[in-house]
Structure formats: C-alpha cells, structure tokens
Structure 1
Amino acid sequence: MSDEIDILADLGMAAPKPERWMRMAEIARLTGHSPRTIYRRIREGSFPAGKRISHKVAVWLESDVTAWQAQQLAKWDRQVRAGKFKHP
C-alpha cells in the first residue's frame, strides 16, 4: 500500500480518502429511525447491512447510508409528483 501512495505522490496526486465508518447511534440520528426500525429494514432488505468488525461492533459505510438516503428522497419525490403526498 505504501508503494501505491508513493507513486501517487510522485504523480502529484493525493491518496484516496478512506471510507468513513458509521455506528448505529449515528445512523439513527441521521435517518430519524430507531435502531429497531433500521434492523427490521435490514432484515427486509430495504436498508444496507452493516459489516461486523468484532463480535460486538457493526459499522456501516457512509457511502452506503448516503446512497440509501438518496434512494429514499427520489422515491418520496416520485410519490409527491404522482400526487400521493404533499410537500411539507
């Protein structure tokens, strides 16, 4: 890995930024859903599954969570345009 970073530096390029990990408490705050609802959605396949990094700790990639949010916003927008919901 160090060789790859050295090559990028020689080319005047920055090393790729590592992906940020998020824990359940942060995801709950960000989405407005309780951990119970998030775990239910994971079982249903409607929320991205986390990755276990130890026997007690699971994390989610920030990009997976933000992609899910974008999908939810697009779905909501389609429903609003179809007249199923009104903008708040």
Structure 2
Amino acid sequence: LTGRESHDPSELSGGQQQRVAIARAIVTDPTVLVADEPTGDLDARSAHDVLDLMDTLNRDMGKTIVMVTHDPRAAERARTQYHLDKGVLTR
C-alpha cells in the first residue's frame, strides 16, 4: 500500500481495503481478533500472507482468532473448526 496513504477508501481496490482493515484491526493489539472472510477480496499471494500473519498472531503472540470463511484453504489452517449447516453448529 506504499504510495496510497493519501487515497480515499473509494480509490483503493477491494483487496487494498481488506489489507487496510486487517492492519487497523491488529494495530491495537487485541486479545481476540474476529475476522469475517479475511481473504475474500485478496489475490492468492495476499491471502496466503494474511493467513501466515494470523498463524503468527495465534501461535507466537497468543491471540485468539475467530474466523468466519467459505474458503476451505483458510479453514484448514485453523486448529479448531466449527461448521454451521442449516442452523446447526457442529465441531
């Protein structure tokens, strides 16, 4: 996002907006990070980088991450998975 500091959000791509949102969420050093489709608007490389960052936040920094996703690649990175199907939550 270098060079985009003075741009309005509407001038950023969906992926750029997504990365800004993730940065804003983690800069406050939260105990719990809630991520709703964190890789939804990202290209494959950026999605991989975001998931690596979330792994590091969880594993090395002890952050709890609650992630909602339809992306099986993102879901398989989670230590614990819950599935919601027809209103029923299962582990």
Q: Give me the TM-score of the superposition, normalised by structure 1.
A: 0.27
Higher relative strand content: 2
Higher relative helix content: 1
